[in-house]
Chains A and B, each alone.
Chain A
Amino acid sequence: IAGITQAPTSQILAAGRRMTLRCTQDMRHNAMYWYRQDLGLGLRLIHYSNTAGTTGKGEVPDGYSVSRANTDDFPLTLASAVPSQTSVYFCASSDSDSTDTQYFGPGTRLTVL
């Protein structure tokens, strides 16, 4: 059982380019989340999905979009990357909502130049 996987592990991207970060879980969890983690700021929620077919905005959604076509996959897209989106991105999942333990993927380190 892999749990939750993310791809790529790291990426250097030119500003203005489009980028999709992939996230897949095999735990049949209903809820999935995307966070960014920057030094001194902790984890900040970008978008979430409580169940397949639904998504919601988190604390810092601007410049990002998500989709949840099925239970397992929750891709995060940067339509036109900017340097302030340089960060470590974590995908997570939980059985139902945020009262359940969240399980995190290994993260994607993204650098936008």
Chain B
Amino acid sequence: GQNIDQPTEMTATEGAIVQINCTYQTSGFNGLFWYQQHAGEAPTFLSYNVLDGLEEKGRFSSFLSRSKGYSYLLLKELQMKDSASYLCAVTDSNYQLIWGAGTKLIIKP
């Protein structure tokens, strides 16, 4: 079956760096997304990786290794507003988007 694994919850300190991992087993691969979802709100797009390597966008970076079925989202200079859930999603060979359950990130002062 198809599966995406992420840690359920992580805690980090304001100003620090945190890495959220995502491993996937899907039938084929056509891209990987990271979305941010604040409590009670809709998910919003953060990043998209289709080729191996690191994509940097301000304080956020996303890495992909297709051979390992692995991605991570790196958040630098953490701010209190970064407290949210981070969702990993993979597009499979049938162009269906498979979602992970999300990682709840708690930022402490």
> Is A11 positioned at the interface, with any CB of B under 8 Å from its CB?
no
Asked whether A42 is an interface residue with its Cβ less than 8 Å from the other chain, the reply is: yes
A42-B99, A98-B97 given; A106·B42 CB < 8 A: yes
A interface SS class: loop
A44 contact set on B, CB distance < 8 A: 99
Indicate with 1 or 0, residue by residue over A34-64, a CB within 8 angstroms of chain B CB atoms.
0000001111110000000000001000000
CB-CB contacts below 8 Å: A76-111 with B: 90, 97-99, 101-107
Chain A's nearest CB lies how many Å from the CB of B20? 14
A40 / chain B contacts, CB cutoff of 8 Å: 8, 101
Interface residues of A (CB under 8 A from B): 40-45, 58, 90, 97-99, 101-107
A-B contact pairs, 13 of them (CB 8 A): A41-B101, A42-B101, A42-B102, A44-B99, A45-B97, A99-B30, A102-B45, A102-B97, A104-B42, A104-B43, A105-B42, A106-B41, A107-B41
